[in-house]
Structure 1
Amino acid sequence: MKYVNIRTSALAMTAFMMMLTSACGKAEVASSGSTAAASPSAAASTAPAKTSEPVKVIWWHSMSGELGQAVDKLVADFNASQSKVKVEAVFQGTYDESLNKMKASMDTKSGPSLIQVYEIGSRFMIDSKAITPVQKFVDSDKFDLSQLEENILNYYKFDDKLYSMPFNTSNPILYYNKDMFKAAGLDPEKPPTTYEEVAQAAQALSKDGKAGGSFAIYGWFMEQFFAGQGAEFLNNGNGRTSPATEALVNNDAGVKTLTWWKQMVDNKSMQNLGRKTDDTKKAFAAGQIAMTLDSTASLRGIVTSAEGKFQVGTSILPRPADAKDGGVVVGGASLYILNNKSEAEQQGAWEFIKFLTNPQTQAWWHVNTGYFPITKKAYDEQLVKDNLTKYPQFKTAIDQLHNTKANKATQGAVMGVFPEARQIVETAIEEALTGKKAPKDALDAASKSIAEKLAAYNKTVK
């Protein structure tokens, strides 16, 4: 599939300008209750070139707070491990802000050598023609991709080519209050896993002014509910066999999900607290709701916020009892190498990426942030084993990732207007939950609106 350069297209340059929120990182913030652990061991790095001065690699990222501190530690450790490449990490704001700054710098030399981009920016990054696919370095270096998690790599592969390297990865799980389950006569060791079980539990838990749960109105959750049913979110193989032209949000999977969600809100067993996951986190920590959905990256913060008050349990993302094989789509972000930099800079960026994938680095990153290790052998590190002992709830997330069936649904939808599409879906959910529209009508309107956005975007690429 060949694409024309879209750098000068006003439409493409504004396609992502809406300040929207990204998967498992509406705005990246530090995990609460993070504790310092030993830094990753200095891994030897192959020098990209023999020069007297180190090659400088500018890395733009969107990690703030404690996550930003973790990023700075990774960079410092890499720089100390060798003398041929010097990485400089530069915080650029939210994912949207960083991407907009990159677009503004595309025809200049002022941009980064390496950039962290949220997963829903993948299609745009490829279409932009601004990157050198990571696969080029994988092939030339004979880098063994089998050491990395297949279900994480799959999202970032297109036509079996890896365009970026996964960096911070998460998926959503169900969090529940074990103490409230006990008080309601429910088995705290047998959490609900299906839509039907969640609805039953929510009603049993709704008493004494407390609700069974609350799910934030977050487009990412709807995408995950589709994947859990083995249902594609977009046509043309989720936009992977060819560019998507239609959204399938109004199919049976979408209508079934939104109807289930609305029925719980209507019978008062589920609260509608709006679009912010921070609001559902606070309600959960306060014991006002018994169940919520959130990113695996929030696990430590959620567990810490409940310490001394109640026990936190975790369960897989719920799905209909009759759902087909599916699973979860990875969220988070990956790292792209920009092609308007010298070969030395690009090679230097690749050396840093390799450092980030080694088991020791991944173990440290996982323990200090809550994101998944992308390298399988990281789970053999004592640091990770100790962390799982302290936070056994994370095993739910690991099992959910490993049990995900690989198909186009779980590989994840891709489109150049994903941030806009996600906001459109959130509006549809909001309209249904508040009774403004019936679930099918709200999703029909969303599907039509996304198709219009896709048509406009696809005109800029061929």
Structure 2
Amino acid sequence: MKKIACVSAVVTALLGGAPGHAETVLAVSYGLPSSYKTTQEEIAKRFEAEHPGVRIDLRAPLATYDDVVNELLKSRLTGGAPDIAFVGLSHVSLVAERGLAVPLDRYVQDQGGWQALGYYPPILSLGTVAGRQYGVPFAISFPVLHVNVNLVRRAGGSIEAFPSDWNGITELGQKISALDPKLTGFTFQYEAGGNWTLQALIRGAGGRMEGPGGCGVGFDTPQGRSALETLQLFHDRGMPAMLWQQVLQAFSAGTIGISAASSASTVRNEAQINAFEYRTLPFPITSADGKLPAGGTMLVVTTPDPEKQKAAWDFVKFATGPAAQTIMAQNAGYLPVSQQAVDDPALLGSFYKSHPNQAAALTQIGKLTNWYMWPGPNGLKISSVIQDHVDAIVTGKAGAADTMPRLTAAVASLLPPCKAAK
């Protein structure tokens, strides 16, 4: 028996499986495979090549960011949580409050602080909750205007004199629609998850979703009412209630003139459009102090194992570093979080010079703010309730003036009680 054990140990050593060299496996959960699958696979492969002894187990991708968070919540009861998750930027408060994410501050300090990691300065605030860093953004998107230049010119407009407000944009859209019954002049991605584009209208006008100190409802204001009136304007000027998947197909087919939608669509559009001139323009910000909520995804470390946490942090650094961010931006079309990658001509510097459509959203990064998520156990439900009211306005079933009081009351009834000020 001793001889057999000895031979077995020698064979094990020759095969690279000697005790003390066990492989660390990091299970990674992410959503939106149509945007990220190729990128995730390439980054995982490169990370493994540079970090021998660590294997990335990419789980089958989930459909949405919400699904990733729901999987994390369920895993608290059933087990099987991933070690790292790519959650929506709006979800960081939820995963922090529920104890699903590990604070990363100590790893950052060991690294020499955030400055040493080369991110855009506003980026890290998106992953901060109560003064602690729970996530690091991976991919950023802003809403932008996708423009069929040929149709704009046929309607008497131009890129050089393109309107800068919603009134002018929708008027131009009406002129495009009048060219041919088969054409749609203007669309707006009204059904974006987490009320992202509604937040863009409110924040772009200088308003907020939440009340003072993060307590209660804060959108029953002139800025919030203006946002709902803008949605009604879209309907009144002929915008059809098209889902974003339908818009993507119709725009690339050349039957939509102007589409206000995620900048992440740019790569797909550039790959599919060859029958007309395609441009992107910045999303209208209607107030001097207006902001735009950053869409996209961030990495959170979820494993409670201290040794795995170290390896997971290495993956977070790599995935948000210059090389991986170059892969992400070129493949997925989202904005990078690494300023080092953008400043380096060998990475994204020259890329953006030759891809001005993808650079359009990058010009607004100084206007970046958080994608808000409502607190408490009803956070996801509140987003759904808000979406129902948005749908009603866009489809003409309700008006902006009547919707605001009903919407405010509905959201307030689902929020947790405000904490007393100290």
1:334-353 residue CA offsets vs partner (Å, 9 max, x unmatched): 111125x3210011100111
1:382 maps to which of 337, 342, 346:
346
The match for 1:328 is: 292
Q: Could you tell me the TM-score, scaled by structure 2's length?
A: 0.85
How has the CA–CA distance of structure 1 residues 353 and 291 changed in structure 2, closer, same or farther, with 3 Å as cutoff? same
How has the CA–CA distance of structure 1 residues 66 and 229 changed in structure 2, closer, same or farther, with 3 Å as cutoff? closer
CA distance in structure 2 between the aligned counterparts of 1:102 and 1:282, rounded to whole angstroms: 33
How has the CA–CA distance of structure 1 residues 354 and 207 changed in structure 2, closer, same or farther, with 3 Å as cutoff? same
1:175 maps to which of 146, 161, 165:
146
CA contact (8 A) 1:216 1:277 kept: yes
2:23 maps to which of 54, 72, 80:
54
CA contact (8 A) 1:249 1:446 kept: no
CA contact (8 A) 2:142 2:294 kept: yes
Pairs within 5 Å for 1:151-190: 151-190=122-161
1:301-333 residue CA offsets vs partner (Å, 9 max, x unmatched): 1233321x211121111233xx23123111111
The match for 2:51 is: 82
CA distance in structure 2 between the aligned counterparts of 1:327 and 1:66, rounded to whole angstroms: 25
The match for 1:194 is: 165
The match for 2:112 is: 142
The match for 2:9 is: none
CA distance in structure 2 between the aligned counterparts of 1:440 and 1:364, rounded to whole angstroms: 46
1:231-255 residue CA offsets vs partner (Å, 9 max, x unmatched): 1111134x3xxxx322x33322222
How has the CA–CA distance of structure 1 residues 250 and 212 changed in structure 2, closer, same or farther, with 3 Å as cutoff? farther
Identity %: 20
CA distance in structure 2 between the aligned counterparts of 1:329 and 1:264, rounded to whole angstroms: 21
CA contact (8 A) 2:196 2:371 kept: no
Shift of 1:157: 1.7
The match for 1:353 is: 316
CA contact (8 A) 1:273 1:280 kept: no
Pairs within 5 Å for 1:46-445: 51-65=20-34, 67-94=36-63, 95-106=65-76, 110-145=80-115, 147-208=118-179, 209=181, 210-218=183-191, 219-237=195-213, 239=214, 244-246=215-217, 248-268=218-238, 271-274=239-242, 276-307=243-274, 309-320=275-286, 323-339=287-303, 341-379=304-342, 380-402=344-366, 404=367, 410-416=369-375, 417-445=378-406
Q: May I ask how many residue pairs the two structures share in their alignment?
A: 391
Q: Could you tell me the TM-score, scaled by structure 1's length?
A: 0.78
Shift of 1:123: 1.8
CA distance in structure 1 between the aligned counterparts of 2:230 and 2:43, rounded to whole angstroms: 43
Shift of 1:116: 1.3
Structure 2, unmatched stretches of 5+, are 1-18
1:257-287 residue CA offsets vs partner (Å, 9 max, x unmatched): 222332342233xx2224x211222232233
CA contact (8 A) 1:216 1:273 kept: no
CA distance in structure 2 between the aligned counterparts of 1:279 and 1:66, rounded to whole angstroms: 16
The match for 1:23 is: none
How has the CA–CA distance of structure 1 residues 130 and 199 changed in structure 2, closer, same or farther, with 3 Å as cutoff? closer
- What SS does the aligned partner of 2:251 have? helix
Shift of 1:115: 1.2
CA distance in structure 1 between the aligned counterparts of 2:115 and 2:24, rounded to whole angstroms: 26
Q: Which has the larger radius of gyration?
A: 2
The match for 1:11 is: none
How has the CA–CA distance of structure 1 residues 435 and 250 changed in structure 2, closer, same or farther, with 3 Å as cutoff? farther
Code of the aligned partner of 2:285: R
CA distance in structure 2 between the aligned counterparts of 1:109 and 1:54, rounded to whole angstroms: 21
CA distance in structure 1 between the aligned counterparts of 2:409 and 2:45, rounded to whole angstroms: 48
CA contact (8 A) 1:428 1:442 kept: yes
Shift of 1:189: 2.7
CA-based RMSD: 2.4
CA contact (8 A) 1:57 1:87 kept: yes
CA contact (8 A) 2:44 2:56 kept: yes
How has the CA–CA distance of structure 1 residues 53 and 267 changed in structure 2, closer, same or farther, with 3 Å as cutoff? closer
Structure 1, unmatched stretches of 5+, are 1-49
Q: Tell me which moved more, 287-296 or 137-146.
A: 137-146
CA distance in structure 2 between the aligned counterparts of 1:430 and 1:358, rounded to whole angstroms: 39
Shift of 1:107: 5.1
CA distance in structure 1 between the aligned counterparts of 2:222 and 2:47, rounded to whole angstroms: 49
**Which structure shows the bigger proportion of residues in helix conformation?**
2
CA contact (8 A) 2:48 2:56 kept: yes
1:122-165 residue CA offsets vs partner (Å, 9 max, x unmatched): 22101112321122311233243462122322222234422111
Code of the aligned partner of 2:31: S
CA distance in structure 1 between the aligned counterparts of 2:233 and 2:51, rounded to whole angstroms: 58
CA distance in structure 1 between the aligned counterparts of 2:35 and 2:235, rounded to whole angstroms: 35
Shift of 1:176: 1.2
Shift of 1:397: 0.6
Q: Tell me which moved more, 191-200 or 370-379.
A: 191-200
User: RCO (CA 8 Å, sep 6+): is it higher in 1 or 2?
Assistant: 1
Code of the aligned partner of 2:331: N
1:28-54 residue CA offsets vs partner (Å, 9 max, x unmatched): xxxxxxxxxxxxxxxxxxxxxx95223
- What SS does the aligned partner of 2:256 have? coil
